[in-house]
Amino acid sequence: MIYGIWTFCSAVLAFAISAVLGKYLIPYLHKLNFGQTILDIGPSWHKNKQGTPIMGGIMFIAAISIVTIISTVIYILFGASFIDIFFADIPRECVFIFAGLGLALANGFIGFIDDFTKVVKKRNLGLTAIQKLVLQFAVAAIYLVVLSAAGYGTTTVIPFIGEIDLGFFYYIIAAVVIVGMVNSVNLTDGVDGLDGSVTFFACVAFMLISSMQSYLGITAMGAASAGACLGFLVWNFHPAKVFMGDTGSLFLGGLVCALAFAINMPILLLPIGIIYIAEELSVVLQVSYFKLTHGKRLFKMSPIHHHFEMSGWSEVKIVAVFSAVTAVFGAIAFALAYFGT
C-alpha cells in the first residue's frame, strides 16, 4: 500500500510542477526571444514553427530534480525503520539516484549551452558534433568513476543468462552506450510531443521493473520522470507551444540511461529504447547509403520520424504509433526482467 502511494504522489507532484511551470516559463522565453530557428533541410511545413520557444525542457528538469531529491530524502529519513519489510538497500539506491540525476543534469547542461548558442547566433547550429561528444564522454566517464568509487564494479545482469563480469571492457561499453543513447534520444526530438511521449512510456517501463525488484527510490524516480514528461506534454502536444530543446532531450537521454543502470540491466535499453535506436540507426543508414550510392537516399528523410512525415503521416499519428511501439517493447522488457532474473 505504502509502495503505491509513494509512487503515485511522486508522479502527481512532478506532473503538477512541470505543467504549472509552463504557464510562467513559456511567456518568459517569449520575452527573451528564445525562439527556434528551423533548418531549410527539414520538412517545409515545419517553417510555421519558427520562433516557438526552446529550452522548455527546464520544466521537466526542475520537476524531476525536485521530486527525486524530496522523495529520496524522505526515503532515507523514514525508510530505514521499514527496510527489512518493504525496502531494498537504501545506500545503493542513493548512489544510483544521485549519480544518475547528476548524469542527466550534466547532459542537460551541455544541451543548454547548445541551445543558448543557437539562440544568441539566431541560427539552428550550436556546439559542433566533436564538442558535444567530448563533453558527453567526459560526463559519462565521471558518472562511471563515481559508481566505481562507491564500490559498484563491472558486473551487469542479462535476463536468462544471469550476472556477468565484463571487467575493464564494462567501462568502455557503458560509456559508448550512454553517449549513444543520449544522442539517440536527442534525435527523437523532431515532432511535436514525440520525445516526451516516448520517454513517458520508457520511464513507466523502468518504474515497473524497479518496483518489481523492490527498489522504492528508483521506482519513485521513474514515476516522477513519467509524471514530469506528461506535465511537459500539456504544452508540447501538437501544435506545440514550446520545444524541449537540446536542454531537455539530452537530459532525458541521461535520465533513461540512469534508470537502466540503476536496476543493473542496461541491456534493457535495447527493447525499451527501440524507438530511440531506430531514430539513430535511420540517420546512420541514410548517411552511409548516401555516400555508398553517391547521392541516393534510403529514406525520404531522416531521422525516421521525418520519413513518415514525408510519407503523409500526421505528427499526431507518428507520436501515437511510436508511443505504442515503446509501450509494447516496454512490456516485453518487463517480462524479460520478471521471468529472466
Residue whose C-alpha is closest to residue 124's, from 205, 43, 39, 191: 39
Give the DSSP H or E segment for 171.
Answer: helix 169-188
Predicted local confidence at residue 83, as pLDDT = 45
Task: Output the nine-digit C-alpha cell for 275.
Answer: 524507438
Say what the pLDDT of residue 90 is: 54
Cα–Cα distance between 79 and 219 in angstroms, integer? 14
SS3 162: strand
Reference 34, options 51, 57, 22, 14; nearest CA is 51
Phi and psi for 125 in degrees, rounded to 5? -135, 125
Full pLDDT tens readout for the chain, 341 residues = 666 787 899 999 999 999 999 999 999 988 887 766 555 555 555 556 667 888 999 999 999 999 999 988 887 776 554 444 444 445 778 899 999 999 999 999 999 999 988 887 765 667 888 999 999 999 999 999 999 998 888 999 999 999 999 999 999 999 999 999 999 999 999 899 999 999 999 999 999 999 999 888 899 999 999 999 999 999 999 999 999 999 999 999 999 999 999 999 999 999 999 999 999 999 999 999 999 998 889 999 999 999 999 999 999 999 999 999 999 999 999 999 999 88
The answer to whether 228 and 60 have CB atoms below 8 angstroms apart is: yes
pLDDT value at residue 3: 65
Q: How far apart are the first and last CA of the chain?
A: 24
Provide the 8-state DSSP code for 198: H
Q: Rounded to an integer, what distance in angstroms lies between the CA atom of residue 244 and that of residue 205?
A: 22
Q: Which residue has the cell 531549410?
A: 40
